[in-house]
Amino acid sequence: MKLARSPLAPPDFPDLPTVQGMVSATHSLGMYKTTRNDLMIVHFPEGASCGGVFTRSLTRSCDIDWCRDALEVSEGKASTLVVNAGNSNAFTFEQGLAKNEATLDAIATVSGQPKSECYLGATGVVGVPVRPGLIADVVPEVWPRLTPDTPWLDLASAFMTTDTFPKGAGRQVKVGDKTISIAGIAKGSGMIAPNMATMLSYIFTDAPLSPQQCQWLTSDQTNKSFNCITVDGDMSTSDTVMLFATGAVELSDAEMEEHFTAISDAIGAVFLDLAQQIVRDGEGATKFIEIEVKGAINKQSAKTIACSIANSPLVKTALAANDANWGRIVMAAGKALEPLNRDSMAIWIGDVLVAEAGQRAVSYDEDEATRAVSGQSIRIVVDVAVGSESATVWTCDLTHGYVEINGAYRT
C-alpha cells in the first residue's frame, strides 16, 4: 500500500552528525517483494556501552527476550546491532528462536565477538515465521560493506513499515576543543501506546558513557519521551529503545563530571524529538496534539489522566473534524478514575478557556474554540485542581486514514 507523506512531517530529513566508533550498512532481504533495503547492521569495532528498555507486552517477540538477556549477560556491552523490517519475529516460538540463533552464529563468526554482545530488533507482521537463514545467509555479503559513511537517511529508512517518512534527530555538545555527537533514528506510526511506547528507536553517541550511565539515561529519558506518546493505545510486541555509547571521544573524569548534565540533556532532546516525530507520523494523522494535565496529586496520576484523554477515540475524532467538543475531554478525564475536583476543574484549548469551576466558562466562545482546534497543532490543558503535579503527553487525531491503512496492512 502506497502511503502519502504525513502532513505533519518535517520538510526534510535532518543533517545528523557523524558518531565516531561505529560502522554500518543496509541491505535488501526482499521482505517487501521489492529492492528496498529492509535490513540494518551496525557494528562497533572497539565495542560500546549500551542500555535498553523494551515492551512490557506478555506476547513480546523472542528478539525482545534475547536483548533483555544479552544486556544482563554482557553487562551492558555491545558489539553489533541487527534490525530488520517486514517481519516482527513475534509469536513464532521455535522458528523465531531458530532464526535468531542462526543470525547470532553468523554475526559471531564474522565479528569474533560473543553472541551476548549482539542485539536484535525486528518489526513488521506478527505471527508469520521466516526461514532461519533469512539474515544469516546475507551476513557474509553485508559485513565487508560496513562503513562509517553510511547515510543516516539510509539507516532510518531500512526499518520503516507503515512510516510515511524516515525519522532522525541529532545534537552535539562542545567539551573544550572536543565535540560529542549524538544521533538517533526511529520508526513508528501505528501500534503506539505508552508503556514502553510498533516502534523501534536506536540512539548512538561517541561520549564515553559507562553501561550503568547508558541504562540510567535510557530508562530516564524514555519515561520523559517515548513513554509519553500514543497514537492508538495499542502496545507493540516489539517496542525497543536502545542507547549505544562508543566512547570514541575521550574525556577525563573531570570533563565528564562537568559536562554530564549537558550531554544528558542533549541525549534527552534526541529522545523527545524522535518520540514526537512518531506521533507526527501517526497512521492517518492530520493533527499533532499536546495534552498537559496539571493540578494533580502526583505525576503518575497526571499522566494517567492525560493518557486517558489522549487515547479517547471520541476526543481524537472530534479534533480530527475541527469540533471543539470539550465535553469529551471532561468524559475522558473522569474515566481515568484518578483524583480530581470536578467542581473546580478548568480546561483550555490553545489560548481559549472553555471550562472553569466545573462548568462551561463564562467567557466561552464557540467560534474561538473552533479556531483553536482547526490548526495542525493543538494544545489542551486540563487543571484537575487537587494538587500541584503535572504531566504532558503527545498524541494525534484519529481519521478515516487510520482505518484504511490498517485494513490494508497485509494486502
For residues 42 and 159, the answer to whether their CB atoms sit within 8 Å is no
For residues 135 and 82, the answer to whether their CB atoms sit within 8 Å is yes
For residues 158 and 181, the answer to whether their CB atoms sit within 8 Å is no
Give the span between the Cα atoms of 120 and 116, in whole angstroms.
10
Helix (H, G, I), strand (E, B) or coil at 313: helix
Options 164, 198, 246, 395, the catalytic residue: 198
- Active site annotation includes 26: no
Give the span between the Cα atoms of 296 and 384, in whole angstroms.
6
Give the span between the Cα atoms of 340 and 334, in whole angstroms.
8
Q: Between 211-224 and 253-280, two packed helices, what is the crossing angle to 10 degrees? A: 40
> What proportions of the chain, in percent to the nearest 5, are helix, strand and coil?
35, 25, 40
Give the span between the Cα atoms of 285 and 275, in whole angstroms.
15
Over 73-105, what HEC string results?
HHCCEEEEEEEEEEECCCCCHHHHHHHHHHHHH
Ramachandran region, residue 333 (left: φ > 0; alpha: ψ -120 to 50; beta: rest): alpha
Q: How far is CA 145 from the centre of its chain?
A: 28
Q: How far is CA 328 from the centre of its chain?
A: 27
Task: Enumerate the active-site residues.
Answer: 198
